[in-house]
Structure 1
Amino acid sequence: MHTALDLEPLEPLEPSGNGHHPPGGATLSARDVSAWFGDRKVLERVSLDMNAGSVTALIGPSGCGKSTFLRILNRMHELVPSASLAGEVRLGDDDIYGAGRRITDTRKRIGMVFQKPNPFPAMSIAENVTAGLKLTGTKVSRGARADLVEECLTRAGLWAEVRDRLRQPGGALSGGQQQRLCIARSLAVRPDVLLMDEPCSALDPTSTRRIEETIHDLRQDVTIVIVTHNMQQAARVSQHCAFFLAEQGTPGHIVEAGPTERIFGDPADERTSDYVNGRFG
């Protein structure tokens, strides 16, 4: 159970740039999304807009469908043999589940960073960054690869730490560095959206802060959706929040969603207030 009152005051992160960048990414919208594993319904008619140029945090207790919803957003849910879903997910004007829409096209536009850092251990740091290019059919000339590696590692906040050891194994980095390497790998294919499933849960406070700073900078160019159980983190990094809940065996659903400041400061539902203030969860 989180105890928000025992932690440091909530202060939003300030962007390190000049603040004049136009919003990047693309709006991701879910409409009436329901999901099942076999006969068990785990999500009930979830509708949510995740706006371009912002970070949307998905919060709520374990088992309420946040990670399932996140996986639906880039078509990972359908990889589970018993999984099924209903509803619609649109990236801009495109229905990502539309007829003829290839999964690889969706994965190129909607990247994922997982809870546990997963760099390819046999690959060098530089090779890890460019690993997704072949998988998504993205062609980059040999001469442009070095620039791409530097750009992505810089955007992920890692370049200064690894610039002199790009040929060393990615698996030799610290946990926080590995997670930022995974972010750099996701950025290399130029996604519109980056999904993050508890990206800091296994990291120390210093690494967590660096990841949060990276998230705040990236939202200038990429729409970000993050699942987190850390209420302090949700308040620091996000502009919008959606509170998920599954009560007494019912499927997960959104109790309320809106600007982060309102969800934490003046929520409409008492259950939201109880959760963000650490009274359950």
Structure 2
Amino acid sequence: MIESQPTSLETADTVELTEFDTALLAAGDPGIVSGLASLQAQNISAWFGDHKVLDRVSLLMPAGKVTALIGPSGCGKSTFLRTLNRMHELVPSASLAGEVLLDGHDIYDASRRITQARREIGMVFQKPNPFPAMSIFDNVVAGLALTGLKVSKSDKADLVEESLLKAGLWTEVKDRLRQAGGGLSGGQQQRLCIARSLAVKPRILLMDEPCSALDPTSTRRIEQTITELSTDVTIVIVTHNMQQAQRVSDQCAFFLAEAGTPGQIVEHGPTDVMFDSPQDSRTLDYVNGRFG
């Protein structure tokens, strides 16, 4: 362990919000009232052993919006995403400093249970990971037991239908709910995983390159699902596809790690501004495909 590395989760100093962040918080207030949640990272630094991969990253992810994390491979985007629902700490050598505030409350606070954080902040991974031998129906409700939620037998059917509808999969599978989830196509499996995440009623949905292994048709359907879901849940997505970031996100954060330094956010802002008139020349070069 290096001397500057924390041996436990530390609380970082409060960061000053930019004018853009302040406007986002104000815009998010109505969403918070209706159940949507904002997420705010404050001075997040992360390590794997002695290797520092993120350095004091701060970002507001407003309620009811889609935030895209963009940047070249190895700049810490996925690590940052995993800090947002306490999955980073699953790695034995991992450590972290800073705060992740869900509507102003730190999810790393000792008084908050990790299962609560994982229920409120769901995750969809790069590779679809349904339980292959489990039925489509049972895949959707699998998260209930894992998070300690009790739902009556009669209500489970309604929950499965609601979750599959939101994930854009109901019409395709409603007549074969008792068939194995592993028999679905790749794109359908990914939407099944989205439905499984939605079944526990998360307030935030994290998505780590959810379309990278999918064909264009499946990718288009997932993107439609993201757009439809953003009225009910706040979404943070990691993507290497710049066109996808433009299509689905309301704001972007550009991550970069230069010359062996830890990943940082170069700039963030509304998606159209980030692509049309970014302030930093490195952002302009990246979104136009000049590196990365």
Same fold (TM over 0.5): yes
State the AA in 2 paired with 1:211: I
Counterpart in 2 of 1:142?
Answer: 153
Tell whether 2:189 aligns with 1:178: yes
State the AA in 1 paired with 2:127: K
Q: Report deviation, 1:101.
A: 1.2
SS in 2 for 1:139: coil
Q: Deviations over 1:71-92 (max 9, x none)?
A: 0000000111111010100000
Provide the rounded CA distance (Å) in 2 between the counterparts of 1:170 and 1:266. 44
Provide the rounded CA distance (Å) in 1 between the counterparts of 2:140 and 2:36. 20
Provide the rounded CA distance (Å) in 1 between the counterparts of 2:210 and 2:220. 11
Aligned length: 260
Match of 1:44 among 48, 55, 60: 55
Provide the rounded CA distance (Å) in 1 between the counterparts of 2:82 and 2:64. 21
Counterpart in 2 of 1:91?
Answer: 102
- Superposed, 1:1-281 pairs within 5 Å as 23=31, 25-281=36-292
Structure 1: gaps (5+ residues) = 1-21
Q: Report deviation, 1:100.
A: 2.0
Q: Report deviation, 1:171.
A: 0.5
Provide the rounded CA distance (Å) in 2 between the counterparts of 1:161 and 1:279. 40
Structure with larger RCO (C-alpha < 8 A, sep 6+): 1
Q: Report deviation, 1:254.
A: 0.1
SS in 2 for 1:244: strand
Counterpart in 2 of 1:9?
Answer: none
Provide the rounded CA distance (Å) in 2 between the counterparts of 1:104 and 1:178. 24
Task: Name the Cα RMSD after superposition.
Answer: 0.7
Q: Deviations over 1:153-203 (max 9, x none)?
A: 000000000000000000100000000000000000000000000000000
State the AA in 2 paired with 1:116: K
Cα contact 1:25–1:191 (8 A) shared by 2: no
Structure 2: gaps (5+ residues) = 1-29
Provide the rounded CA distance (Å) in 2 between the counterparts of 1:39 and 1:144. 48
Provide the rounded CA distance (Å) in 1 between the counterparts of 2:167 and 2:134. 18
Question: Runs of 4+ in structure 1 displaced over 2 angstroms?
Answer: 22-25
SS in 1 for 2:231: coil
